[in-house]
Structure formats: C-alpha cells, structure tokens
C-alpha cells in the first residue's frame, strides 16, 4: 500500500508542476495566513493542499463547512472543488488578486 501511495504522490507532483497549475500562499485566496503553507491551483476549479495542512485550512480557512463530496484525498494531497461555495469564493479572490497584480505591472 505504501508503494501505491508513493506512486500517487509522485504522479500528482509531476502533474502539479505543469504550467496549468500555480502555487500561492493563503493570502492570495483571501485566507488567514495560518490556514496552510502553500496551495496549488488551476485558478478556477481546484484548490490543492498537502494533507498535513488540511487541519489548518479547515480551522483557519473555514473549510470545515465544505461537503465531503467536494473534498478528495489522494496520497498526501487534499483537493477541494470549486463546487463548494467556500472554495469558489477563495478561488474568485485569487483571480481578483492576480488580475490586480497584472494591472499594476
């Protein structure tokens, strides 16, 4: 089982290192800095964190209200879907912050 989880982690790490995903800190999503260390996102559909950061995101980020159907665990990652209002709002805040940064440049 450990080998399977390791393989999942490696494949996800490769996928998330692609140009379709971005890394950001909690403030980029309008969340408390204590929520997590760094998230991975496509900016629209998913907010992805390390499983070790999930407790902080639930407590400080308010994600304890996200339905289990909108939250999936794969290996050492937790993937939150924008189908949940809380996740959608965080991703919308992220897009606004990114857009503001682009306007300032």
- pTM for the full model? 0.88
Summarised one tens digit per residue, pLDDT across range 55-68 is 999 999 999 999 99
Contacts made by residues 95-101, CB under 8 angstroms, sequence distance 24+: 95/43, 95/44, 97/28, 97/30, 98/28, 98/43
What is the reported pLDDT for 104? Answer: 66
Tell me the pLDDT band of 8, cut-offs 50, 70 and 90: confident
Provide the token pair at 43: 């900016």
**41-58 average pLDDT score:** 96
């Amino acid at each position: 089982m450990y080998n399977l989880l390791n393989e999942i982690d490696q494949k996800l790490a490769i996928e998330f290192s692609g140009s379709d995903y971005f890394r950001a800190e909690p403030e980029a999503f309008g969340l408390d800095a204590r929520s997590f260390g760094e998230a991975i996102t496509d900016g629209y559909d998913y907010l992805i964190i390390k499983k070790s950061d999930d407790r902080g995101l639930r407590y400080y980020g308010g994600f304890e209200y996200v339905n289990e159907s909108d939250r999936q665990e794969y290996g050492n990652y937790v993937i939150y879907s924008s189908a949940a209002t809380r996740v959608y709002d965080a991703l919308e805040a992220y897009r606004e912050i990114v857009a503001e940064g682009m306007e300032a440049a």
